Structure 1
């Protein structure tokens, strides 16, 4: 297991908490909580040691597209592929737009 931490510039805090995915074979879990205005912190627990550069590239694609709400994000990857990572993050961001927390 490896622990990774990333930080990105952000806007106002996210409106509510979100949980998507399930830790299981080939899947991953994303937990989002409102963060401190101006920054997003991402903690990744990955089962694949040495995968930091892949995570860095994936998250830079997602968070480099423009400012997002300030969040604290925890990701448990269980060996998920970058495609699954992108899909789960998109699902989590969509859930942030919902009026009701998940």
Structure 2
């Protein structure tokens, strides 16, 4: 297993209070837990993945996600067993759409 950690500063969108779990590792090879957290306006993402050596791809996918959503005070945990970048983006978007404050 490889653990990757990304942090994006100065987000603009805040989430509702309830954590959200989307996907399961055995279905689509990915689960995402997203929750509000006091991070001084940042979004923190921790990825645990069985696919070693793909840090640059994860960084690109997470950077694109941050540009789309600009989340603030958010903690995201991802458990991955080989999901494609498209599945990762879909699961992240599903989680956020359920939690973005109006």
TM-score (norm: length of structure 2): 0.86
**Cα distance in 2 between the residues matched to 1:83 and 1:12:** 23
Cα deviation for residue 67 of structure 1 reads 2.1
Q: Which of 26, 33, 36 is matched with 2:35 structurally?
A: 33
Unaligned runs of 5+ in 1: none
Cα RMSD of the aligned pairs, angstroms, is: 2.0
Instruction: Give the conservation status (yes or no) of the 8 Å contact 1:25–1:78.
Output: no
Matched, 1:23 2:25: yes
Unaligned runs of 5+ in 2: none
1:64-90 C-alpha deviation (Å, 9 max, x unpaired): 235223211000011100010010011
1:15-65 C-alpha deviation (Å, 9 max, x unpaired): 221110001154200001112231111000011111110100001111023
Instruction: Give the conservation status (yes or no) of the 8 Å contact 1:27–1:77.
Output: yes
Instruction: Give the conservation status (yes or no) of the 8 Å contact 1:42–1:73.
Output: yes
**Cα distance in 2 between the residues matched to 1:35 and 1:8:** 13
Q: Which of 40, 56, 59 is matched with 1:53 structurally?
A: 56
Equivalent in the alignment of 2:7: 7
Taking a change above 3 Å as real, the CA distance of residues 45 and 96 of structure 1, as seen in their structure-2 partners, is same
Number of matched residues? 99
Q: Quick check: which one's strand share is greater?
A: 2
**Cα distance in 1 between the residues matched to 2:68 and 2:8:** 11
